[in-house]
Amino acid sequence: MSHAHDRCALILIDCQQGFKDWDYWGANRNNPALEHNLLQLLNHWRANQLPIVHVVHHSRDVNSLLRRDKSSGEIWPELTPIAGEELIVKRENSSFIGTELEVYLRRNHINQLAIAGLTTNHCVSTTVRMAGNMGFDVRLVGEACATFDRVGPDGSTYAAQLIHDIALSDLHGEFCQVVNIGELLTNVANQCR
């Protein structure tokens, strides 16, 4: 039997058009399966009538692509929220700072989260860190996250795949469990029986 407090919420972070402009973010993105995997998660959550939260970034920086007043701030068409799904607008990296996300989850007695989106090392990592530290039970869907190449303070360029892999390694077992999509979908479907 399923209880309200057993439900696992899917949290999709920053799946916005601006992230299609790879050159703006670092030229190379990892994980070509990102779009497919995100859609698979969303479809599964919808089919099982489980809670879904879309987080979008509305930057304070007028030059950012992730703004409310630009088409590049829109969510990818295939992931557009539908009635009954929660939309959280954030202005910082963390989905919990300056937003109603924590209140939404606590009021709905949701303690399990499945988190995916962009970018693995920035907004996803920061959200997972806070969620874990606040006591949520977090599954991080590494296969449905991605990031971009980045230049460090010493001028070295780090490859997107390496940044992504080390971000997952930093988080796994400390703030969350990194899970495979296959296992996750099976476990979540079992919650609904």
Query: Which residue is it, tokens 């469990």?
Result: 177
DSSP 100: S
Q: Which token pair is 137?
A: 């039970």
Beta carbons of 22 and 95 less than 8 angstroms apart: no
Q: Which token pair is 19?
A: 């992230």
Residue 4 beta carbon to a second copy: minimum distance, rounded to whole angstroms: 26
Between residues 91 and 109, which has the closer beta carbon with respect to a second copy? 91
Beta carbons of 184 and 156 less than 8 angstroms apart: no
DSSP 123: I
147-176 binders of a second copy (CB under 8 A):
150-154, 156, 158, 162-163, 165-170, 172-175
Beta carbons of 5 and 113 less than 8 angstroms apart: no
In this chain, which of 97, 102, 104, 137 binds a second copy, going by CB under 8 A? 97
Which of 176, 180, 90 is CA-nearest to residue 134?
Answer: 176
Between residues 85 and 170, which has the closer beta carbon with respect to a second copy? 170
Q: Per-residue x/- mask for a second copy, residues 132 to 151, rule CB under 8 A?
A: xxx-------x-------xx
Q: Which token pair is 153?
A: 């303070």
Counting contacts by CB under 8 A, is residue 103 touching a second copy? no
Between residues 166 and 192, which has the closer beta carbon with respect to a second copy? 166
Between residues 53 and 140, which has the closer beta carbon with respect to a second copy? 140
Q: Which residues make up the interface to a second copy (CB under 8 A)?
A: 92-94, 97, 121-122, 125-126, 129-130, 132-134, 142, 150-154, 156, 158, 162-163, 165-170, 172-175, 178
